[in-house]
Amino acid sequence: MHGLGGRRRKLASRSLPRHDRLDGRPLGQRESEVRKVRKRVLALAVGLLLVASLAIQLVPYGRAHDNPPVISEPQWDSPRTRELFFTTCGDCHSNETRWPWYSNIAPISWLVQRDVDEGRAACNVSEWGQAKQDCGDSAETLAGGSMPPRSYVLLHPSAPRRGGAGCAHSGAPRHVRRRRRKA
């Protein structure tokens, strides 16, 4: 049996061209057909992805970009504090959102709109004094590193880094927060 296996290998190496065991065609021809099929499948997948990308642009969510009017703002302890807040947090936590160009392209527009909706619901300084607002720990949240979100920092290079500069001043001013907690 050992000698028979060696003999088959010698015979197989002598036969030119090599043939596939399944259909008897030369192996090179079969490989080129497989490459053609793979190219077709890839082209079809890219085409479907392009059609899907265009189709999701028809979904209306995330492109309204309305900024409701500013009802009231806290008494900022300095213009610099207000500037730091709007640089770091204002796009999501106020009614003065700056909508970047990519906020018009789905599915990114959906994510941006969700972040703004959630941010305004949690703490909106443009509606300061409303009972539903809970901005009391905004400086601590920023100092703790959970705000601003990493995705926001990546797309807004001018925003202070998480837990970085501006932590003590971002959010509602300390004297306003103290007064608000007593009330």
- The domain ranges of the chain are 2-58, 79-182
Question: What local confidence, expressed as pLDDT, does residue 17 receive?
Answer: 53
75: left (phi over 0), alpha (psi -120 to 50) or beta: beta
3-state secondary structure of 23: coil
Question: What local confidence, expressed as pLDDT, does residue 177 receive?
Answer: 40
Answer whether 119's CB lies under 8 Å from 90's CB: no
Find the radius of gyration of the CA atoms of the chain. 31
Q: Which residue has the tokens 């300390």?
A: 174
Question: What local confidence, expressed as pLDDT, does residue 4 receive?
Answer: 57
Question: Could you state, in chain order, the average pLDDT of each consecutive group of 10 residues for the chain (183 residues)?
Answer: 56 53 66 90 95 86 82 90 87 90 88 89 86 72 79 77 47 41 38
Q: What is the pTM of this model?
A: 0.63
Question: What local confidence, expressed as pLDDT, does residue 108 receive?
Answer: 87
Minimal CA–CA distance to 105: which of 161, 57, 73? Answer: 57
Q: CA–CA separation, 150 vs 139, rounded Å?
A: 17
- Record the tokens describing residue 88, joined without a space: 């770091």
